[in-house]
Amino acid sequence: MKLLLTSGGVTNDSIRAALVDLLGKPISESNALCIPTAQWGHPMCGPTSVRGFVSGLPPWGGMSTLGWRSLGVLELTALPSIGEERWVPWVRDADVLLVDGGDATYLCHWMRQSGLADLLPSLPDLVWVGVSAGSMVMTPRIGDYFVEWPSAPDDRTLGVVDFSIFPHLDVFPTNTLPKAEAWAEGIPGPSYAIDDQTAITVVDGTVEVVSEGDWKLLTQG
């Protein structure tokens, strides 16, 4: 699996070029599935924002309106009730998963419950494009600061990568660099503070930052 971990999605030409490079072909020849699941776990999200993500309506960005050959929706909470024989072929036929933000611990829970987390390692060519929590779910820890789902046992997530992410740097009044540095003190290992014009690619363990904005590598202590 190839990762494009973003804060705000495909927001500039550099991130778009990185996506095309990961796909290995034009967006117009690629099949995408949207995963809105993380939104249901966050108190600021709901039906309107989910619709905005899936449809690409402002102000939720245009992940679904990049010109995909085909586009569908994969709701993880439904998967355990329909059986792997139905949904696994959908994922295998996809070139990219577009995974929206919300609460990363809720998304992590349903990735495990649905079986998607177990399936992903068998799909080396699949591209995962995360937005905010959709990126953070791939990290080991998100910090209590970002846990909004009341049923979350702790702040641990999948740990596919060995670094953590502080998204939306200077996008929201509370997401300042001093706040990110304080947050990083409680996160073991390295972490990145990234704004909405920045993304991180991970391919075969190689990590690269793609940015037309601001970012900073943080370390514990």
pTM for the full model? Answer: 0.95
For the chain, give the mean pLDDT.
94
Which of these, 195, 201, 215, 207, lies nearest to 8 by C-alpha position?
Answer: 195
Q: Which residues contact 150 (CB under 8 A, 6 or more apart)?
A: none
Distance CA 134, CA 99 (A): 5
High-pLDDT (> 90) share of the chain, %: 86
Domains of the chain: 2-218 (3.40.50.880)
Higher pLDDT, 72 or 219: 72
Tell the burial category of 124 from Cβ atoms under 10 Å away from its Cβ (0-12, 13-18, 19+).
exposed
What percent of the chain shows pLDDT beyond 70? Answer: 97
